Amino acid sequence: MISAWDNLHSATLELVRSTPIKQRLICVHRRYLSTLALEQLPTEVRGTFAQVMRAFTDVQPLRGEDAVVASVRKMSAQQADDCAALIVEMFGVVSRVESPQRQPAPVVQLRSVEPPDDEFAIPALIATN
């Protein structure tokens, strides 16, 4: 099972793409949000998540479309922006809540910070006459 953090992280990355905002929202719902269960989320974001999910299913679909497409189609540009902002805010809250639980990857030093003494040594020119 993919964690809530991973889903919201991927959703946030999808939202910053250059495609139209409504296309991004539909993609985010289908790929990342629809697989999330409310119980996977911290209590701090459950209300916001429920609000976002309602926004994706508010409109009765026309023939040949689903509720998500119909709801996003009916959103104004401002409503779509607000919905995207809520998703990014949820990711921020989940990141803060889960940060003590997530161990950062260890930093691997690839090169010594101090250069060896001979790294920049310039050989002395010997001039003979």
Q: Which residue has the higher pLDDT, 107 or 85?
A: 85
| 123 pLDDT above the threshold of 70 | no
CA distances from 70 to 34, 46, 49, 106 (A): 16, 24, 19, 45
| 31 pLDDT above the threshold of 70 | yes
Judged by average pLDDT, the poorest of 13-17, 58-62, 71-75, 96-100 is 96-100
pLDDT at 105: 65
| 46 pLDDT above the threshold of 70 | yes
pLDDT at 129: 58
If pLDDT is split at 50, 70 and 90, which confidence band does 98 have? confident
**Average predicted confidence (pLDDT) for the chain:** 86
| Domain locations along the chain | 4-98
If pLDDT is split at 50, 70 and 90, which confidence band does 114 have? low
Query: Could you give the CA distance from residue 10 to residue 80 in angstroms, rounded to a whole number?
Result: 18
Question: For a pLDDT cut of 70, what percent of the chain falls above it?
Answer: 77
| 126 pLDDT above the threshold of 80 | no
Count Cα atoms within 13 angstroms, Cβ side, for 90: 32
pTM for this predicted structure: 0.74
Average pLDDT over residues 27-54: 94
